[in-house]
Amino acid sequence: MSTGRLLPVLTALLLLASAAPANAANTGRDHPATWSAAWSVTHHHPVPGNDWFGANWSVPGFANESVRQVVRVSAAGSLLRIRVSNRYGSQPLRLTGATVGRPDAGAAVRPGTLLPVTFDRQRTTTVPVGAETTSDPVLLPVRALEAVTVTLYFAGATGPATYHQDGLTSTYRATGDHRFDHRAAAFSGETSQSWYHLAGVDVAGSPRTRGTVVTFGDSLTDGYGSTPGTDNRYPDQLAERLVAAGRPLAVANAGIGGNKLLADSPCFGERGVTRLRHDVLGQPGVRSAVVLIGINDIGGGGFPDFGCGASPVVTAAQLIDGHRALIRAAHAHRITVIGATVPPIKNAAGYDTPGNEAVRDEVNTWIRTSGAYDAVVDLDRILADPADTDALRPAYDHGDHLHLNDAGASVAAAAVAARIR
């Protein structure tokens, strides 16, 4: 196509994308054919690093620093936009500027691909406390499963950073403004395995992308146990299977390690029945959700408060009521909801007790037989050891008898893909 014929097409695409409201990612009212969440992460309160998860930068935040994050989008688009969050900040977040580009190795970006990101046509924006903002469209065509590098620069002190602890991917930072620096040298200092302020990357402009599947849950969805830096979480592998099958659906990950359905935690996020509104219903283009949650309510019940909130003992009836609340909320927004049974917990330290197993069995029986969910993925049976159905199959066990390794995540992804319509 000649340049003269191409320009009107690009102009039309930009006008179409600009017609979407600037705060659409906060309302979830985007038309599925316009924007789809192609990558997302769920945030929680900043907490200090620890021996279990490692160091992070959330408590001090950033000052005169560039933060570079590489994400893999799950669907194609001729346009993209980013979402920036200050949901758990203590002061307005002043974003001096941002860029997107095509990644090279590590923190490097392919020369000539870095593009500025604007917000209401300005390169600088301020995100109020508790809020999230969405950028203007950027003309950077992407294919499904292609990575994008996002660099955020904060000239002033941000205060504590809204973040996601278990990112399983290297995040880079550098002193000074390196938004347009395609080299990795400035980012050669320490890295982090967490995500900061970046909430999502949305795509539009491709007739092949027809909405988003949101995977909602705890560490089993977040990907703990999969190999860091390989995009082998079960939602990642779900996206790969949908692409391989020629099914044009994006996948957005709304998992938080340690999250509970019924109890808030300053370390592990708001309770599932509360955060569903933002983390699922608030995703642009969402058409269906996969729910896998409850294991921490069951296994953590009665644990003392170590600084991450109380862990009340819960009954199966309470958990079932929580699942019903999720389903009602999703159906009110015409979202299809797929329920997943809770996988085996035998031999998992602190989780495996006769009482907990009885609650897990009762909840799983309800998920299987009640008909409340639009479809069911029976991960309990699919992932179980044939020789001991209360335990994970050893080939799928990360090593703690609770979390899935890459092979287990692959099996879970295949089972979920088979239930998505």
Distance of CA 66 to the CA centre of its chain: 22
The whole-angstrom separation of Cα 294 and Cα 272 is: 9
SS3 12: helix
Among 167, 200, 233, give the residue marking a domain's end: 200
Asked whether residue 292 is domain-assigned, the answer is yes
Angle at 387 between CA 381 and CA 389, to 5 degrees: 30
- Per DSSP, what are the bridge partners of residue 347? none
| C-beta of residue 30 within 8 angstroms of C-beta of residue 286 | no
Tokens at 231, concatenated: 């995009």
pLDDT of residue 303: 81
Task: Based on the fold, state whether residues 173 and 128 are members of the same structural domain.
Answer: yes
| C-beta of residue 314 within 8 angstroms of C-beta of residue 296 | no
Helices (H), 175-230: 219-222
Asked whether residue 22 is domain-assigned, the answer is no
Residue with tokens 């703690």: 400
Tokens at 32, concatenated: 């599925």
| C-beta of residue 416 within 8 angstroms of C-beta of residue 238 | yes
Q: Which of 42, 9, 12, 6 is nearest to 283 (CA)?
A: 42
Asked whether residue 4 is domain-assigned, the answer is no
pLDDT of residue 302: 77
* 393-402 pLDDT per residue, tens: 999 999 999 9
Please give the single-letter amino acid code of residue 79: L
Task: Based on the fold, state whether residues 89 and 164 are members of the same structural domain.
Answer: yes
SS3 94: strand
Task: Based on the fold, state whether residues 101 and 247 are members of the same structural domain.
Answer: no
Asked whether residue 205 is domain-assigned, the answer is no
* 70-91 pLDDT per residue, tens: 999 999 999 999 999 999 999 9
pLDDT of residue 208: 79
Task: Based on the fold, state whether residues 195 and 290 are members of the same structural domain.
Answer: no
For the chain, the domain total comes to 2
The secondary element (H helix, E strand) that includes residue 36 is: strand 36-40
Asked whether residue 279 is domain-assigned, the answer is yes
Among 200, 218, 239, give the residue marking a domain's end: 200
Task: Based on the fold, state whether residues 157 and 235 are members of the same structural domain.
Answer: no
Task: Based on the fold, state whether residues 288 and 181 are members of the same structural domain.
Answer: no
Domain range holding 261? 210-417
Residues 6+ apart with CB under 8 A from 398: 224, 225, 226, 404, 405, 408
Asked whether residue 108 is domain-assigned, the answer is yes
Task: Based on the fold, state whether residues 195 and 257 are members of the same structural domain.
Answer: no
The whole-angstrom separation of Cα 205 and Cα 35 is: 8
Distance of CA 347 to the CA centre of its chain: 29
pLDDT of residue 72: 98
Task: Based on the fold, state whether residues 215 and 168 are members of the same structural domain.
Answer: no
> One digit per residue, pLDDT tens: the chain, 421 residues?
333 333 333 333 333 333 333 333 333 334 334 899 999 999 999 999 877 777 899 999 999 999 999 999 999 999 999 999 999 999 999 999 999 999 999 999 999 999 999 999 999 999 999 999 999 999 999 999 999 999 999 999 999 999 999 999 999 999 999 999 999 999 998 899 999 999 999 999 888 788 999 999 999 999 999 999 999 999 999 999 999 999 999 999 999 999 999 999 999 999 999 999 999 999 999 999 999 999 999 998 878 787 888 888 999 999 999 999 999 999 999 999 999 999 999 999 999 999 999 999 999 999 999 999 999 999 999 999 999 999 999 999 999 999 999 999 999 999 999 999 8
Task: Based on the fold, state whether residues 171 and 315 are members of the same structural domain.
Answer: no
Asked whether residue 13 is domain-assigned, the answer is no
Ramachandran class of 379: left when φ > 0, alpha when ψ lies in -120 to 50, beta otherwise: alpha
Asked whether residue 117 is domain-assigned, the answer is yes
Among 147, 171, 200, give the residue marking a domain's end: 200
335: domain CATH number?
Answer: 3.40.50.1110
Residues 6+ apart with CB under 8 A from 4: none
Helices (H), 214-348: 219-222, 234-244, 272-276, 295-299, 316-332
Task: Based on the fold, state whether residues 109 and 139 are members of the same structural domain.
Answer: yes
Task: Based on the fold, state whether residues 250 and 324 are members of the same structural domain.
Answer: yes
The whole-angstrom separation of Cα 187 and Cα 169 is: 15
By DSSP bridging, strand 147-154 and strand 198-204 are unpaired
Residues 6+ apart with CB under 8 A from 244: none
The whole-angstrom separation of Cα 96 and Cα 273 is: 35
Residues 6+ apart with CB under 8 A from 98: 82, 84, 116, 117, 123, 135, 150, 151, 152, 153, 179
pLDDT of residue 52: 72
Task: Based on the fold, state whether residues 221 and 188 are members of the same structural domain.
Answer: no
